Chain A
Amino acid sequence: MSYPTPATSVKLVLLGEAAVGKSSLVLRFVSNDFQENKEPTIGAAFLTQKCTIGERTIKYEIWDTAGQERFASLAPMYYRNAQAAIVVYDITKPASFIKARHWVKELHEQAAKDITIALVGNKYDLVQDDDEGQGEREGVRKVSVEEGQNLAAEEGLLFYETSAKTSYNVNDVFIGIGNKIPEAASLASSPEQNNNEGRIDLSTNASSNGNRNLCSC
């Protein structure tokens, strides 16, 4: 395999109320580009997916909440060095939208100031008309597009409505985030670039240092 440029790593965290489809959204994004529909292995530290945008290849390291958000017990580690976040709500559940505001606030407090945040109203498939028309089913949607847009505008967020089920707009979210992340920022905090600054990457280090040192005593 060859890549146009070395992939830059971007840590992306997911936030949102339980059952709004955070994991489904990521699974949709991660599995789409895979050759086969491989079930992600349980226990993966985080899911990774490469995303090529023009000349750049971004390698997303996607951190799921692993349920620790249920009782507001996310650790500082979760937010640390996150360059991007997706705050998800369910467009059929107003409470989840209220919760989304809470998570945006939390991100402003806990995460880096220059973090790129996307607000995502998920489950668009539920409001879509069955006969694939442009219209929406009456009364299912509980959070209007405008509400989402307004919050996004107020807080400086990207905004999308998606369906993890039909994959509507899912890739656009990640491409949108990738476009908004400054190239320099992603380079600076990419683990691959940092080896020479005293950081030890336990997964790759031995390949660069091991050779020389194995034979010495």
Chain B
Amino acid sequence: MTDRSATMAAGSAPATADAHRRPLLEVKDLRVHFPTEDGLVKAVDGLDFTVAKGRTLGIVGESGSGKSVTSLAILGLHKRTRAQLSGEVLLDGVDIIGAAEETVRRLRGNKMAMIFQDPLSSMHPYYTVGAQIIEAYRVHNNVSKRAARARAIEMLSLVGIPQPDRRVDDYPHQFSGGMRQRAMIAMGMSCNPGLLIADEPTTALDVTVQAQILELMKKLQREFDSALIIITHDLCVVAEVADDILVMYAGRAVEHGPVADLFRRPEHPYTWGLLSSMPRLDRVREDRLRPIKGTPPSLINPPPGCRFHPRCPYAQRLGEICWTVEPELLEGPNDHSTRCHLGPVKAREVFVAEVEPLL
């Protein structure tokens, strides 16, 4: 287990000076379980990944795959009374899971920040955008209000908001959707955190604005040399900005690798499903959208064997093993690992012969 995460960490960085850097964030065997009346919900069940400074990891999966639960666990935002956490989340060597509440609070917003999906509901409606950025800055920096305000204006200007010295006194509802998300990013970056997590940052935005926001995040990441995690259900989003992609299914990683390799040689049937479920307008209407059949599995009683087998079109071919033995996340060439009984060779054959022509 540790062996695997170590190789993945090294693998996600290119063979430059960066490769020698210790990853800023290391997640080791993370488990987040919620006890409920119906049983134990295993929202995240053994997850390993690392992100180095200056790198971007895209976490992809359907609703309920554990993406957002993972991000909240990294920020230490799960109520300890409601969630059972185990494993390690090391931010710059500090374990978030084991640390005291107060220690994590001091890191939150300061060394790690988060941007949420819907910028309108994520900002307080009663305070000006400026006041909210000032608050975020002052809680970790002992500066005067005036200095914090200057910082807020500087951040707003940095994220491309016109007339920042005037807009700083506007309320969130006076901003457009894209502007609000820019302001959220300004707030998240105000303390210059080493790690920025963006949870579906473009989902609530107009398509025309989405690309701008992604571009902005990339630009700021380069400027601040921060580690970035983008959580999304949209493969197109991560294809543009991520260095590595982690595909999650039912609380576990099913495929993990560098973006180029993962798009060129996807090995897991679930990833194929995600790729083919993007609508294609060049097909006849009935054939444009090919969704993955079935629904996400129960996280209380996950299917035995491979968790994807009830929805997997290839499970019949391998027979019993798919519903009796859970596959391991196996490392292949190019730091590309996959959790599937097909194995890299057979998966490649199936992909080339049956999936790729339909993409």
The answer to whether A binds B is no
Give chain A's interface residues, CB within 8 Å of chain B: none
